[in-house]
C-alpha cells in the first residue's frame, strides 16, 4: 500500500476516508486534542467498533486493541510520516487480525497541523493461510514445529509471520524475537542474494532453491544453509507471502573442508577489534605473494589463519604444505624440508623430494619457525631470496615457486636479540606480521565462539545444538583459557560427552574450570616468575647430569628418570643442542 500524497488537507479528509472504504482500507482521523473525528466503515468492521460510539472520545481510551504508534504525530513530529510493521488486534468476535498501519499528518487550509489520519490495511488473506497456524489449526502448527527442518513464513512486505522450533535451534533466535520483524533479521540487510531470491519468489510467484546460502544467527554468526523458497497463495490464487525451508549445512561444510582442504574467513570467528584488524589486513594481503609471519601463543589459531590465507590466494588450487619445525629432530629436518638424492647417506637408495618440492606452485607453512636450527636458517634464507636450494647430497640447485608463510609462539625479534635467530632471515620473513591475540584478550568473542564451536561439535556427533545454563556460561566467561581457543574446544567437547546431549551445567565442565577463579595481575606475575625459576633450575640440572655422564643422553635420561625423547625436547627448549 502506498500513498502519493503524504500531507492530507483536513477539508478533504472525510472524502479520503470514503475513497479508502472503496479500496477496502480502514482509516480514522484524530484532531490535535486526540479526539476521534471520523472513522470509515472498513475501520469499524476491522476493529469491531461503531463510529458513533467513539466519535469525540480520546483515541488513547478507545483503541486499546491498537497500541499507539511508536512515533506520535501529535507530539511535535508534524513532518513525520510513520509506517510500521504489523499489529495484531482482537475484534468483538474474538477474531485475531493482522494489520499494517500508517499515520499521516492532516493540515488545515493554512497548512497548520490539525490532526492525523491513521490507515489500517487488513492482512486477512495471510490470516486465512498463515495465521490459522497460530489460532485455528493447532495440529498443523504442531506438525510444522516438529519437522526436522527450519521453516519460516513472511508476508508480502517481507515481515516474518511464522517461525518453527527447528528454525529457532538453527538460528539461535526465539520466535518472539523475530515475529513481526523483517526477514533481513535472518538473512542480513546487506543486500545478499538469498534475500533477493526470497523477494523475487514473492514478486513473481516462483519457486527458488539456494544450494549454498547462509543465515545470520542471534549471536551474529554466519550459519551455512541450504534453502527452498516458495510463494504462498490464497484460495483466489493471489500471492500473499512466501515460505522458506532451510537445512543446517554446518556438518557438510566441515566435511567439504576436510575433503578439499579449503578454508575461508567464515572459519575464523571474532568481532573484537583485535580480530577485525587481523581480518582487514588478511583480506588485503591474502591475494598477494607476500611472505607473512604469524605470531601468537599456542592455541590461538595460527594454523587455521595460514590455511585461510592460502585458500584466499591465487595459489588456492595448488598444494598447501605444513612443516612443524619443532616436531622434527634436527638431524632429519634438512632432508625433510629440502629432500635428498640417492646415495646422499647410508640407506638413501632413491631420490626423495622435500616439503619445498611438494609445495611447488602453492604455499608452505613453517610452523614454530623459532625452533629452526641456525644451520638451516641460512639455507632457508637462500630459498627466500633466490627461490632455489640444494637437496641433501646434490650438486645442483632446484628452483621452486612457493609462497612462504611462517608462525611462531615466541616473538622472533626477542630471539634475534638473544642471538638465537638470524636477523637477516627475520627481516625476510617479516614482510607482513600478523599478531593473533590470546582468548583472554578477546573475551568479547567468547559468546560467539561458544555457539560456533558447540554447533560444530554437535553437528559432527549428529546431535541437535545443546543449551548452556546461565551459571555455566558465567564460569566459561570468567575463565582465562591459557590454552586459548584449542582449550575452549576441549572443554566444550568434555562437557558434551558428560552432559549426554542435555543442557550443559557447571558439573559437566572439567574440574579445573569449575573451581577456577580469575587471578590478579600480581598473582599472574608471581606465577610467571615461578615458572621461569623452575625452568632455570631444570636447565642447570640437565647440564650437570650431562657433564657427569660425559654427554651420554641415554644415561642422562635414565639418571633424570625421564624418556630420551623428553630429554631431547627439553634440551632443545633450553638451547642445549
Best CA proximity match to 165, nearest among 143, 187, 180, 138: 143
Report pLDDT for 63: 63
Top CATH class of 527-573 equals mainly alpha
Q: Give the pLDDT of residue 131.
A: 44
pLDDT at 525: 44
Higher pLDDT, 200 or 426: 426
Assess contact for 117 and 140: CB atoms under 8 A: no
CATH class of the domain at 262-435: alpha beta
pLDDT at 140 over 80: no
Q: Could you tell me which of 509, 491, 502 has the C-alpha nearest to residue 465?
A: 502
Could you report how far apart the first and last alpha carbons of the chain are, in Å?
Answer: 80
| Dihedrals phi, psi of 227, to nearest 5 degrees | -135, 150
For residue 116, what is its C-alpha cell? 492525523
Question: Is pLDDT above 50 for 54?
Answer: yes
Q: Which of 338, 422, 415, 352 is nearest to 383 (CA)?
A: 338
Mean residue pLDDT across the chain = 77
The CATH number fitting domain 439-514, selected from 1.10.8.60, 1.10.1060.10, 1.10.760.10, 1.10.10.10: 1.10.8.60
- Split at pLDDT 50, 70, 90, the class of 2 is very low
Q: What is the CATH number of domain 8-122?
A: 3.30.450.20
The alpha carbons of the chain give a radius of gyration, in whole angstroms, of: 34
Other C-beta atoms closer than 10 Å to the C-beta of 551 total 9
Rounded Cα distance between 313 and 288, Å, is 7
d(CA 83, CA 76): 17
94-103, 253-262, 283-292, 329-338 — which is least confidently predicted?
253-262
Residue 471 φ then ψ, to 5°: -65, -35
Range from 221-225, 316-320, 322-326 carrying the lowest mean pLDDT: 221-225
Q: What is the mean pLDDT of residues 294-305?
A: 91
Return the percentage of the chain with pLDDT > 90, whole number. 14
User: From CA 119, how far away is CA 38, in angstroms rounded?
Assistant: 12
pLDDT band at 78; cut points 50, 70, 90 = very low
Predicted local confidence at residue 358, as pLDDT: 92
Q: Which of these, 191, 210, 203, 212, lies nearest to 242 by C-alpha position?
A: 203
Name the H helices within 330-445.
Answer: 330-338, 355-358, 374-386, 412-417, 423-429
Taking only the tens place, the pLDDT of each residue in 475-530 is 998 898 999 999 999 999 999 888 876 788 989 999 888 887 554 444 444 445 45
State the average pLDDT over residues 4-27: 57
Question: Where are the domains positioned within the chain?
Answer: 8-122, 127-248, 262-435, 439-514, 527-573
Per-residue pLDDT for 539 more than 50?
yes
- Looking at per-residue pLDDT, the higher value among 22 and 559 belongs to 559
Residue 331 is classified by DSSP as H
CATH of span 127-248: 3.30.450.20
Residue 438 grid coordinates: 590470546
Pairing mode of beta strands 320-324, 292-295: unpaired
Among 258, 155, 168, smallest CA distance to 198 is for 155
Model confidence pLDDT, tens digit, residues 245-296: 888 776 555 555 544 455 556 567 777 888 888 888 888 898 899 999 999 9
Which of 351-355, 492-496, 547-551 is the least confident region?
547-551
Question: Which three cell numbers mark 271?
Answer: 568481532
Highest-confidence segment of 167-176, 295-304, 387-396:
295-304
CA angle (104 as vertex; 102, 108 as ends), nearest 5 = 160
Q: Residue 133: is its pLDDT beyond 50?
A: no
The confidence score (pLDDT) of residue 460 equals 72
d(CA 121, CA 9): 21
Helices (H), 402-464: 412-417, 423-429, 446-461
- The answer to whether domain 262-435 and domain 439-514 are alike in fold is no
Output the CA torsion sign for 13, 14, 15, 17.
positive
Closest CA to 567 of 558, 557, 552, 555: 557
Q: What pLDDT is attached to residue 259?
A: 44
Amino acid at each position: 500500500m502506498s500513498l502519493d500524497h503524504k500531507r492530507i488537507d483536513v477539508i478533504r479528509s472525510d472524502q479520503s476516508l470514503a475513497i479508502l472504504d472503496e479500496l477496502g482500507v480502514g482509516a480514522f482521523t484524530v484532531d490535535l486534542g486526540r479526539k476521534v473525528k471520523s472513522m470509515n466503515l472498513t475501520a469499524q468492521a476491522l476493529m469491531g467498533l461503531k463510529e458513533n460510539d467513539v466519535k469525540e472520545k480520546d483515541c488513547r481510551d478507545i483503541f486499546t486493541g491498537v497500541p499507539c504508534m511508536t512515533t506520535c504525530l501529535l507530539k511535535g513530529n508534524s513532518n513525520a510520516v510513520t509506517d510500521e510493521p504489523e499489529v495484531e488486534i482482537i475484534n468483538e468476535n474474538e477474531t485475531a487480525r493482522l494489520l499494517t498501519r500508517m499515520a499521516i499528518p492532516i493540515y488545515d487550509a493554512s497548512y497548520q497541523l490539525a490532526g492525523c489520519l491513521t490507515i489500517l490495511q487488513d492482512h486477512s488473506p495471510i490470516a486465512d493461510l498463515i495465521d490459522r497456524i497460530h489460532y485455528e489449526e493447532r495440529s498443523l502448527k504442531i506438525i510444522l514445529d516438529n519437522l526436522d527442518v527450519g521453516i519460516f513464513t513472511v508476508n508480502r512486505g517481507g515481515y516474518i509471520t511464522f517461525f518453527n522450533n527447528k528454525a529457532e535451534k538453527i538460528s539461535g533466535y526465539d520466535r518472539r524475537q523475530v515475529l513481526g520483524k523483517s526477514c533481513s533479521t535472518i538473512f542480513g540487510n546487506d543486500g545478499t542474494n538469498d534475500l533477493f531470491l526470497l523477494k523475487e519468489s514473492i514478486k513473481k510467484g516462483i519457486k527458488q532453491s539456494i544450494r549454498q546460502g547462509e543465515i545470520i544467527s542471534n549471536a551474529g554468526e554466519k550459519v551455512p544453509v541450504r534453502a527452498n523458497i516458495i510463494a504462498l497463495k490464497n484460495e483466489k490464487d493471489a500471492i500473499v507471502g512466501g515460505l522458506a525451508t532451510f537445512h543446517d549445512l554446518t556438518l557438510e561444510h566441515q566435511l567439504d573442508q576436510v575433503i578439499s582442504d579449503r578454508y575461508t574467513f567464515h572459519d575464523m570467528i571474532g568481532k573484537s577489534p583485535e580480530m577485525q584488524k587481523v581480518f582487514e589486513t588478511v583480506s588485503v594481503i591474502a591475494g598477494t605473494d607476500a611472505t607473512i609471519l604469524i605470531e601468537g601463543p599456542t592455541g590461538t589459531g595460527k594454523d587455521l589463519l595460514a590455511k585461510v590465507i592460502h585458500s584466499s590466494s591465487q595459489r588456492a588450487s595448488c598444494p598447501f604444505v605444513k612443516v612443524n619445525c619443532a616436531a622434527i629432530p634436527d638431524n632429519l629436518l634438512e632432508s625433510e624440508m629440502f629432500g635428498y638424492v640417492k646415495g646422499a647417506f647410508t640407506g638413501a637408495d632413491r631420490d626423495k623430494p622435500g616439503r619445498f618440492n611438494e609445495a611447488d606452485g602453492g604455499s608452505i607453512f613453517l610452523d614454530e619457525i623459532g625452533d629452526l636450527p641456525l644451520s638451516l636458517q641460512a639455507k632457508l634464507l637462500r630459498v627466500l631470496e633466490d627461490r632455489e636450494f640444494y637437496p641433501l647430497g646434490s650438486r645442483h640447485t632446484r628452483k621452486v615457486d612457493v609462497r612462504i608463510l611462517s608462525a611462531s609462539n615466541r616473538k622472533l625479534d626477542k630471539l634475534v636479540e638473544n642471538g638465537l635467530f638470524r636477523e637477516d632471515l627475520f627481516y625476510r620473513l617479516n614482510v607482513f606480521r600478523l599478531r593473533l591475540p590470546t582468548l583472554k584478550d578477546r573475551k568479547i568473542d567468547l559468546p560467539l565462539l561458544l555457539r560456533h564451536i558447540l554447533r560444530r561439535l554437535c553437528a559432527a556427533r549428529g546431535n541437535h545444538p545443546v543449551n548452556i545454563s546461565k551459571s555455566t556460561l558465567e564460569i566459561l566467561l570468567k575463565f582465562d583459557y591459557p590454552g586459548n581457543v584449542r582449550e575452549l574446544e576441549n572443554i566444550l567437547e568434555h562437557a558434551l560427552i558428560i552432559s549426554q546431549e542435555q543442557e550443559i551445567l557447571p558439573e559437566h565442565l572439567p574440574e579445573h574450570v569449575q573451581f577456577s577463579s580469575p587471578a590478579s595481575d600480581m598473582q599472574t606475575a608471581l606465577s610467571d616468575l615461578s615458572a621461569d625459576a623452575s625452568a632455570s633450575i631444570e636447565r642447570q640440572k640437565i647440564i650437570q647430569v650431562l657433564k657427569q655422564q660425559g654427554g651420554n643422553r641415554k644415561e642422562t635420561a635414565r639418571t633424570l628418570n625421564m624418556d630420551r625423547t623428553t630429554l631431547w625436547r627439553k634440551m632443545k627448549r633450553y638451547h642445549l643442542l
